[in-house]
Amino acid sequence: MTPFEREREARIAAKRACPFPHWLAAQQRRDDYIGHLARAVACDGKLPRRATVRESWRHFNCSGIDHDTITAVMDAINEWRRFITNMVKATRLCAASPPARQRNRP
């Protein structure tokens, strides 16, 4: 398996582990527009919990949302993508680092 294929597989696994609707639901306590969006989505309850980003985007577009909400959705998706990228990087670093050495204590 090439490094590119390993990276792709890691991204797919990370997206399965934390799909966009799950990530968005965890943002409800934020005091910004993404938190407001997360609370609105939680009250609505129509966004499927395992929806992909594309399905989530379709859901929001079909809901007749205003320009400010579209901006919030786009920002939330971008932030989720950064979260996934950081999750993949952290996984790769943990896999590459040697196990910690333990001291022999008397």
Residue 86 lies in a domain: yes
Q: What is the pTM of this model?
A: 0.77
Digit-by-digit pLDDT tens for the chain (106 residues) are 788 888 888 888 888 888 999 999 999 999 999 999 999 889 988 888 888 889 988 888 888 888 888 899 999 999 999 999 998 888 777 766 666 566 666 5
Name the DSSP letter for residue 28. Answer: T
Give the domain range for residue 17: 3-92
CB atoms within 10 A of CB 50: 10
* Tokens 């950081």, residue located: 86
* CA torsion, ordered 62, 67, 72, 76, to nearest 10 deg: 50
Q: Is 105 inside a domain boundary?
A: no
- Per the structure block, which two tokens stand in for 17? 């582990």
Q: Does residue 42 sit within a domain?
A: yes
The dihedrals phi and psi of 2, each to the nearest 5 degrees, come to -75, 160
What is the number of domains present in the chain? 1
The answer to whether residue 48 sits within a structural domain is yes
Residue 103 lies in a domain: no
Does 38 fall in a domain?
Answer: yes
